[in-house]
Chains A and B, each alone.
Chain A
Amino acid sequence: MDVANLASQLNAGAILPEGAVILTLMVVLIGELALGRASAARWTPYVAIAGLLLSVGLLCLQWDLTPTLSFLGSFNADKLSIVLRSIIALSTLVTILMSIRYVEQAGSSIGEFMTILLSATVGGMFLCGAEELTMIFVSLETLSIASYLLTGYMKRDPRSNEAALKYLLIGAASSAVFLYGLSLLYGLSGGETHLSAIANALAQGTNHLGLLIALVFVIAGISFKIAAVPFHQWTPDVYEGAPTPVVAFLSVGSKAAGFALAIRLLTQAFPAVVEQWQFIFTALAILSMVLGNVVAIAQTSMKRMLAYSSIGQAGFVMIGFVIGTEAGYASMIFYLLIYLFMNLGAFTCIILFALRTGTDQISEYAGLYQKDPLLTLALSLCLLSLGGIPPLAGFFGKIYLFWAGWQAGAYGLVILGLVTSVISIYYYIRVVKMMVVKEPQEMSDVVLNYPAINWTPLGMRPLQVGLFVTLIATSIAGILSNPLFTLVNNAVVEVPHLQTANAAKTPMAILPTTTPELPAPLVSNSDSTAL
């Protein structure tokens, strides 16, 4: 294989967006080393923001290119991966907007923080397109290790240390299990590492039990990442101890990466056991929706409440995943996109409140409307959107999910989703009640001593921008969801293996999906699973 041929096989252009992020990361790191922490803090955040915007822009440019496998088949830059990578890059972008002031006020270095956060982003973005076992594991570990570091970033805060240690121990164990699952796949397929090659090899094999064990191990690893019950044990403690911007990233960016991994790995490598993985994920979805939403009611800390609510939200997203229809995948990704704005919006508000008052307790929000109407409005809208109240974005996201679920015949899941949404309204509205309904005389002490609103200190402007962007997106993304959903739908339609999973499971799909000439190995898979 000569060099020219190799270069054409590499298709290095496919990872230009990641390249932009890596370049930014290095500029930020070296800039801080060269110019010192204080002066670098003035411009590195903007470099990081610009780099992420550039990365999203490059992703948009890639939209119309014909998807090609790059790096000898280990990275797939199809539209699905473009959408998911954009979600991760955007979540980092909003996280940086909200973290500058937070890290600054805590007296830590913003440059280092952003370097680690951007590494996590790179890992997550690669994970979205990874189609090869080594690639998957390396990018997953990049994301995970960076996340552990971020969790422990407030090194003087014992709770942050505790959270980091817990996260590291459980995360390392789950990585080991996941890796063991991958090694089983490698062995069962006779030494294949590319996902479609594995599927191809497994379709002819008969070793069902081994495959199931591999499946269970892999799902355990993924569920850890998306914090699905019962693999959620780390979430509340880590969310409570970790710096709030990190929590925001973990609950959106990291979770989106987990779902990206789930879509690619499960639908592509396990078409032989579609029924089984859909069954396991149905159970996970049920448990997550019920436990996440019920336990959130009892929380007194805002961060813990959002931790449990994010478990519940992941449960809703899993509805779209398990039904295995095109509309299901599309509505799932659409929900992730909506969830990005509303959840990060809520976190931006919490950070703003914590910066001004130094607390996260729900009871301390009492009477906030008097002192800070903008924050009250923004947090109320984001929480109501999470609860699925129209005409906010979350309502439409849920409608898409439930409608897709119902069309695929998952009546039980949809009804459970509706019931748990009603429960979730209860705890979201509790916070709104605290802020809006309480009389001036019932105001909490911290709100009584609320500082004058001042947007001038370093990092407050970006926070304000983040607040407005997420607020506007949460308010109108639902009403204007037609172009967005069409975009996501196009991304899903173009991925062949999502349709085979679909055809094997439910022949009565919504639209009569004409599946024209599928690649040869995939046809044989769908035949074997259709039996």
Chain B
Amino acid sequence: MILSTLIWFPILGAIALALVPSRYLKWAALILSGSILLGSLWIAYQFDITQPLIQFREDLPWLATLGLNYQLGVDGLSLPLIILNTLLTWIAIYSSPEATERPRLFYGLVLLISGAVSGAFLAQNLLLFFLFYEIELVPFYLLIAIWGSEKKSYAAMKFLLYTAVSGALIFVAFVGLVWLQGADSFAYTALAGNTLPLWQQLILLAFVLIGFGIKIPLVPLHTWLPDTYVAASAPIAMLLGGVLAKLGTYGIFRFGLGLFPEAWGTLAPGLATWATVSVLYGATVAIAQKDIKRMVAYSSVGHMGYILLGGAALTELSLVGAVAQMFAHGLILAILFHLVGMVEAKVGTRELDVLNGLMNPLRGLPLVSALLVLGGMASAGIPGLVGFVSEFLVFQGSYAVFPLQTLLCVVGTGLTAVYFVILLNRTCFGKLDNAIADFPKVEWRERVPALILSLTILFLGLQPTWLVRWSEASTHAMVAVLPPVTQVTTLAQVLDRE
């Protein structure tokens, strides 16, 4: 029941917001999202971390003709993402400005997205996942198109079309799998451990990879990302980068790795290389940016590459690292987008060439700058912060399998440090120009989201067990069923085996 609550409470709440007087709208939205945050934490409390299987199962018959049943469940892979989703929803609602236009629609859509994303993470039926995956499409379109900044209309349409194509590809993969397998239902458990020939698995996996690759996004499917992230307002960019991109990585792990382990093993070297290309591309392009929001957006492209690398290496450690990286990246990207949004709101620009000396204790934005430094450090993987933990686990786990790719990715983290140094150096340090330094004061309540996020980043960086223990049992089970990757490294060997 509790899992359904996570989905339906926000969705019904979104509808109920229509009846709330406009003065209390934000409070109502905060209470709704706060209660699902508590709900997800309660699930975490009840969650048995030694148990690798799906927990809190719910199973109701729905459209049996289609093989679509209402099947929910949570395991170590989805639990951290659920918490991330509910946490970032609350923060997005909290940090949205008081003067948001058309607040009823705004909060309603955010809550709707929260419910749909939870539904996608919890769905144990492929078609149910697809349904939830498609539901968030139009709300996100509207959130970008109505509350975005310049070029919002173009960006929103681009986002919509890319995501719709991604949905179509995923649908083809799912339907193809069920048909080839001869199953009469889209239930995940019935399809995991399928016995398809390798070439069929490879074709289906290719559809899954490209479909979710658009969502993540991986180079070269990423062209929608800079436009969309930049056009979206800060709370929406937070949700886009923090939560929505995780639907892609989650999908690749759950439906790529989980359903086609053999094909995944075959493609693993290619995937690791793909991940490396993404990492290096994202980092180098970020260095060239003049707009800090765009820079953060490209940093996301790079960081998603680590997750794919961890998945490709397929060791227990690298998978734990990848799941941790999903959570860590969500937190870090959220804080960065939040602070960049704050800088833009207070200073009025995002141009690197204009920004200067915000660290100035009297006339600048000292706390915002300090937290921005923290966020940048976390993103660059400085020890003591959560980014380090997950990246270290990924690299440690992957090095034995793909030494070259891992080393190149380590170079990528170095490049991350480069562009964050550029960003921080230009924005926070230097001499503040007195002519423009007349910024509105940062209220204490505006600092709350960034403080919560940075404390979480710091705490999980110092106490990483709290981050990784949820997924250990599940990833262990995932690896246990897999053929070791190192045995099959080239396509030629695969063809020989056939």
On A, residues with C-beta under 8 Å from B are 384, 389-391, 395-396, 399-400, 402-403, 406-407, 414-415, 418-419, 421-422, 425-426, 429, 432-433, 436-437, 481-482, 485-486, 489
Contact = CB atoms under 8 A, between A and B. Distances in A.
A400 B66 CA distance: 7
A395 B131 contact: yes
A402 B168 CA distance: 11
Contact of B134 (A395, A402, A429, A436): A395
A251 B250 CA distance: 42
A429 B172 contact: no
Interface in B125-177: 127, 131-132, 134-135, 137-138, 141-142, 145-146, 153, 156-157, 160-161, 164-165, 168, 171-172, 175-176
Interface of B: 62-66, 68, 127, 131-132, 134-135, 137-138, 141-142, 145-146, 153, 156-157, 160-161, 164-165, 168, 171-172, 175-176, 179
Given A426-B157, A436-B142, A403 B164 contact: no
Contacts of B164: 421-422, 425
Contacts of B64: 482
16 contacts: A389-B138, A390-B131, A390-B132, A390-B134, A391-B131, A391-B135, A395-B131, A399-B127, A400-B65, A400-B66, A421-B164, A422-B161, A429-B160, A433-B156, A436-B146, A481-B63
Nearest to A437: B145
**Which of B64, B132, B172 lies at the interface centre, i.e. has the most chain A CB atoms within 10 A of its CB?**
B172
A437 B145 CA distance: 6
Contacts of A486: 65
B135 A433 contact: no
Interface core residue of A396, A421, A425, A486 (most chain B CB under 10 Å): A425
B168 A418 contact: yes
Nearest to A481: B63
Contacts of B135: 389-391
Contact of A418 (B65, B141, B172, B179): B172
A359 to B, nearest CB: 23
A467 B157 CA distance: 28
Given A400-B65, A433-B145, 8 more contacts: A384-B138, A390-B131, A390-B132, A406-B179, A421-B168, A425-B160, A433-B156, A436-B146
Contacts of A406: 175-176, 179
Contacts of B160: 425-426, 429
Contacts of A396: 63
A422 B63 CA distance: 24
B139 to A, nearest CB: 10
A399 to B, nearest CB: 6
A389 B175 contact: no
Contact of B66 (A389, A390, A403): A403
Nearest to B135: A390
A384 B139 CA distance: 12
A407 B172 CA distance: 12
Nearest to B160: A429
Contacts of B168: 418-419, 421-422
Contacts of A429: 138, 141, 157, 160
Contacts of A390: 131-132, 134-135
Name the residue among B65, B145, B175 with the largest chain A CB count within 10 angstroms.
B65
A418 B63 contact: no
B62 A426 contact: no
B265 to A, nearest CB: 26
A406 B168 CA distance: 14
A402 B127 CA distance: 13
B145 A402 contact: no
Contacts of B157: 426, 429, 433
B131 A407 contact: no
Contacts of A402: 171, 175
B161 A437 contact: no
A206 B416 CA distance: 77
A406 B67 CA distance: 14
Most buried by B among A384, A403, A414, A486: A403
A403 B175 contact: yes
Contacts of B137: 389
A400 B127 CA distance: 12
A384 B127 CA distance: 19
A419 B164 CA distance: 9
B16 to A, nearest CB: 16
Given A403-B66, A429-B138, A486-B65, A418 B146 contact: no
Contacts of B63: 396, 481-482, 485
Contacts of B62: 482
A389 B141 CA distance: 13
A407 B179 contact: yes
Which 9 pairs from chain A and chain B are nearest by CB? A418-B168, A422-B164, A437-B145, A390-B131, A406-B175, A390-B134, A437-B146, A425-B164, A390-B135
B179 A437 contact: no
A400 B65 CA distance: 9
Contacts of B161: 422, 425-426
A437 B153 contact: yes
A389 B132 CA distance: 10
Contacts of B172: 414-415, 418
A389 B168 CA distance: 12
A437 B142 contact: yes
Contacts of A437: 142, 145-146, 153, 156
Contacts of A418: 168, 171-172
Contacts of B68: 399
A414 B131 CA distance: 18
Contact of B65 (A384, A414, A419, A482): A482
Contacts of B66: 399-400, 403
A42 to B, nearest CB: 36
Contacts of A400: 65-66
A391 B131 CA distance: 7
B44 to A, nearest CB: 28
A389 B146 CA distance: 19
Nearest to B175: A406
A437 B102 CA distance: 11
A489 to B, nearest CB: 7
Contacts of A389: 134-135, 137-138
Contacts of B134: 389-390, 395
Nearest to B18: A373
A473 B222 CA distance: 38
A44 to B, nearest CB: 38
Contacts of A395: 131, 134
Nearest to B162: A422
A486 B61 CA distance: 14
Contacts of B146: 436-437
Centre residue among B64, B145, B175 by max chain A CB count within 10 A = B175
Nearest to A418: B168
A419 B172 CA distance: 11
B166 to A, nearest CB: 10
A402 to B, nearest CB: 7
For B157, B165, B171, the residue with the greatest tally of chain A CB atoms inside 10 Å of its CB is B171
Nearest to B62: A482
Nearest to B61: A482
A391 B175 CA distance: 18
Nearest to A417: B168
Contacts of A407: 179
A333 to B, nearest CB: 14
Contacts of B175: 402-403, 406, 414
Contacts of B165: 422
B126 to A, nearest CB: 12
A482 B64 CA distance: 8
Contacts of B141: 429
